[in-house]
Structure formats: structure tokens, C-alpha cells
């Protein structure tokens, strides 16, 4: 009787194990493009695999909505970045043809 109980418990535990999910082919992590960082180094979205990405696209020359987006990203970073900063990446993507390099 005990062996049946052990088998049932083992089957229950093993069936509850979460399977590794395959990343969808539509996932942003599969975008093959390379992006140039502000320091000149290249980066791809696959570099962020396994992390939460908070991202926004802006114009560096924008004077209306973009400063607000940047401020909101900073506020989010300050609120959530303290919990697990290594698991969260904040990415601002400039879509200017000739971006202004800001420090």
C-alpha cells in the first residue's frame, strides 16, 4: 500500500514540473537585426534572452512626447530596478536617421 502511495506522489510531483517553453518564431528575441549602442558596440535582442525588456522608441530630437517617455522609463527603472536589476533591461531605441548622442 505504501509503495502505491509513493508512486502516486512521485507521479504527481513529476507531472507538475514546468516544461521549458520554446520561444515563438514571432518573438522579439528572434529579430535578426543588430542595433548600435550609444558606445558604438553592436547588440541584438537575443542578447536579452531570459530577461524582461522594458523598451520604447524615441526621437532624440523630439521635444514633446519623447522626454515624457524617457522620464517614465527612468521612473519605472527606479521602482522595479531595486528588486532584481540583473533580470530587467531598459532599452531606449532612437529612430533618428542622425541621432544626437546624449550622455
The mean pLDDT of 23-34, rounded to a whole number, is 71
Question: In the chain, what are the domains?
Answer: 22-94 (3.40.30.10)
How many residues are there in the chain?
A: 103
pLDDT for residue 103 is more than 60: no
Residue 47: which pLDDT band, with cuts at 50, 70 and 90?
confident
Residue 44 has what pLDDT?
A: 84
Q: What is the distance between the alpha carbons of residues 85 and 40, in angstroms, rounded to a whole number?
A: 23
- CA 59 to chain CA centroid, nearest Å: 21
pLDDT digits (tens, 9 = 90+) for 77-95: 888 867 767 778 888 888 7
Question: Which residue, chain included where needed, has cell 530596478?
Answer: 81
DSSP for 31-78 reads ----EE-TTS-EE-GGGGTTSEEEEEEE-TT--SHHHHHHHHHHHHHH
Residue 52 has what pLDDT?
A: 84
pLDDT for residue 51 is more than 70: yes
Amino acid at each position: 500500500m505504501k509503495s502505491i502511495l509513493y508512486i502516486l506522489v512521485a507521479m504527481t510531483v513529476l507531472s507538475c514540473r514546468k516544461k521549458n517553453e520554446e520561444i515563438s518564431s514571432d518573438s522579439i528575441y528572434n529579430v535578426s537585426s543588430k542595433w548600435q549602442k550609444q558606445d558604438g558596440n553592436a547588440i541584438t535582442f537575443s542578447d536579452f534572452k531570459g530577461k524582461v525588456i522594458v523598451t520604447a522608441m524615441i526621437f532624440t530630437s523630439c521635444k514633446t512626447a519623447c522626454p515624457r517617455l524617457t522620464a517614465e522609463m527612468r521612473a519605472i527603472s527606479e521602482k522595479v530596478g531595486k528588486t532584481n536589476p540583473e533580470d530587467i533591461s531598459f532599452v531606449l531605441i532612437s529612430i533618428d536617421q542622425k541621432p544626437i548622442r546624449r550622455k
